[in-house]
Structure 1
Amino acid sequence: MAKTTDPLFKQVKGTIGKQIVIKQYGDTTVISKHPDMSRVKPSKLQQNGRKLFAEAVAYARAVNRNPEQKATYIQKVPCGQSVYHYALKEYLEKNREG
């Protein structure tokens, strides 16, 4: 891992070829090796959360593609918010556990 405050790297962040990761922490740029997540096993709670989110995305996409449902949602959506995000949020709130 390398740290730098060089202004050249100030505007750079992200992954390069799944080999190098460039991150910003305050005024410091950190350059490190891309993490190997192949051995990390998600917990049951993480698996359930990912499944719920995937279902919510599928629902929001379906609403967005159906002109009748989309027209119904447009009437409910606050100004400045998209139908997709509103449907996603609504699905997650209705189906969250706990």
Structure 2
Amino acid sequence: MALVKDNILLQVVRGTLGDQITIYERNGQIIMAKKRGPSKKKPTKKQLEARYKMQVAAAYARVIIQDPEIKAYYKSLAGPGQNAYNMAVKDAYKSPEVQNIRFEESTVVVTAKDEFRVAEVDVRVVDPAGDILERGKAVLGRNSVEWYYKAASLPVGGKVIVVAVDLPGNETVREVKLE
């Protein structure tokens, strides 16, 4: 790979020359590199999963940036050399993280984070027999990280199931047994 500086000819040339050299631009720099060919190895299961996940993320990004408000949101988060599409793909590729679940009397406090934003947190209270006693949406706190859900009761031996959802719809489920 070579970085090209001050070459008038290569300022306008992009693409592959023969089957030998590829010229492209990234972040304002012109790069010349040996042309890569397709791999001769069979993809692993993890590679196939990653390719599928990327296809889904790219499909989400193509659709979601048609909405001017969401496109503006993603564009505001883009850094140098990035655009709204890149940010939408990045957001769709990763699920939110439920970092902590704690109880303050009958209130369930969920700490959920995402690189972009957590859209909603759903809380279910389940009794020891496995029946759902109640469910509802948690309310985002002032710190934009903690979500609060006021439960009618938290039965001993039951569990609380928390589902954090981000803007693209990725879900993360976490359970806590009640003691």
TM-score by length of structure 2 reads 0.32
Question: What is the deviation of 1:85?
Answer: 2.4
Corresponding residue number in structure 2 for 1:20: 20
Q: C-alpha offsets along residues 42-97 of structure 1, whole Å, 9 cap, x if unaligned? A: 111111111111110000010012x3xx41463x44735243223211111115xx
Question: What is the deviation of 1:41?
Answer: 1.3
More helix by share: 1
Rounded Cα–Cα distance in structure 1 between residues aligned with 2:57 and 2:44: 20
- Structure 2: give runs of 5+ residues left out of the alignment: 5-9, 24-31, 96-169, 171-179
CA contact (8 A) 2:77 2:87 kept: no
Corresponding residue number in structure 2 for 1:6: none
Corresponding residue number in structure 2 for 1:27: none
Name the aligned partner's letter for residue 52 of structure 2: K
- Structure 1: give runs of 5+ residues left out of the alignment: 1-8, 24-29
Rounded Cα–Cα distance in structure 2 between residues aligned with 1:80 and 1:41: 37
CA distance 1:78–1:14, shift in 2 (3 Å): closer
Corresponding residue number in structure 1 for 2:175: none
Greater RCO structure (CA 8 Å; 6+ sep): 1
CA distance 1:35–1:10, shift in 2 (3 Å): closer
CA distance 1:80–1:45, shift in 2 (3 Å): closer
Question: What is the deviation of 1:37?
Answer: 2.9
Rounded Cα–Cα distance in structure 2 between residues aligned with 1:85 and 1:10: 24
Rounded Cα–Cα distance in structure 1 between residues aligned with 2:91 and 2:37: 35
User: Where in structure 2 are the equivalents of 1:78-89 lying within 5 Å?
Assistant: 79=76, 81=78, 82-89=83-90
Give the aligned CA root-mean-square deviation in angstroms. 3.6
Q: How many percent of aligned residue pairs carry the same amino acid? A: 24
Corresponding residue number in structure 1 for 2:47: 46
Structure 1 ranges of 4+ moved more than 4 A: none
Larger-gyration structure (1/2): 2
Match of 1:71 among 69, 72, 76: 69
Corresponding residue number in structure 2 for 1:3: none
Number of equivalenced pairs = 75
Rounded Cα–Cα distance in structure 2 between residues aligned with 1:55 and 1:40: 24
More strand by share: 2
